[in-house]
Amino acid sequence: MSSRGEVFLVGTGPGDPDLLTVKAARLIREAEVVLYDNLVTEEIMALVPATAERIYVGKKRSDHAMRQEAINELLVDLAKKGRRVLRLKAGDPFVFGRGGEEIETLGASGVRFEVVPGITAALGAASYAGIPLTHRDYAQSCVFVTGNTQDGALNVDWAAIVRPRQTVVIYMGFQNLDELCRELVAHGLAPATPAAMVQQATTSAQRVVSADLATLADRAHEAGLKPPTLIIVGEVVRLRERLEWFDANRAARAREREGRG
């Protein structure tokens, strides 16, 4: 056991273990005690040593294994006991990951910590769906927002996200997809604005539905998409038809396997 405890907040990326940073992969292999979230994939958790203590602290809609305040205090308690603590978060700890809240508590408690960035879901989903988030012919800016409700209402600065030549990426918007699409149109985007929903990006379960704001909700429901998902809205979605590569490569490999069989 270490004489002095330390906490590592590590972003595990959007799901594919090959997208872990070199530092993240090393820290996972060296883990002593691991606190992990709901969206950290089984493939990544399989890299954790069998000797490591595992503590699930994941959150689902209306189902929290542990309150955020309790997680913060647990990190402090483990570190003060001399433990080397690995805090695994899907995506990046500082993009809708509450990493800032956790290190505020660690810093105030005098606990040593490090933050290891990860590929956030927006970057992974867009890349693997063949949708550039920016493109000089279509979008010169990109904004990330959360689709979670606060006190029963979407807490969104609509004026800031419906600007022209801008890509909007919505995290955690699955449950409110119908309302999100309606509000984007109500605040100025055309119903024909291209939009896509990406399910379980970068993994073997990835699925993508492309449509427009008028039809995305119906198309996603018809396709049976399920969380975790990400919504991408903007003219750049039109490029998917030409730039999609992940599904094409997956289909080609399947054909090759069938041929060898």
- List residues with catalytic annotation: 37, 59
CA dihedral 146, 156, 127, 57 (to 10 degrees): -10
Closest CA to 54 of 73, 72, 31: 31
Residues, the chain, total?
Answer: 261
Identify the burial level of 222 via C-beta atoms within 10 angstroms of its C-beta, where 0-12 means exposed, 13-18 middle and 19 or more buried: exposed
Structure token digits, residue 78: 């483990």
Closest CA to 8 of 111, 77, 122: 111
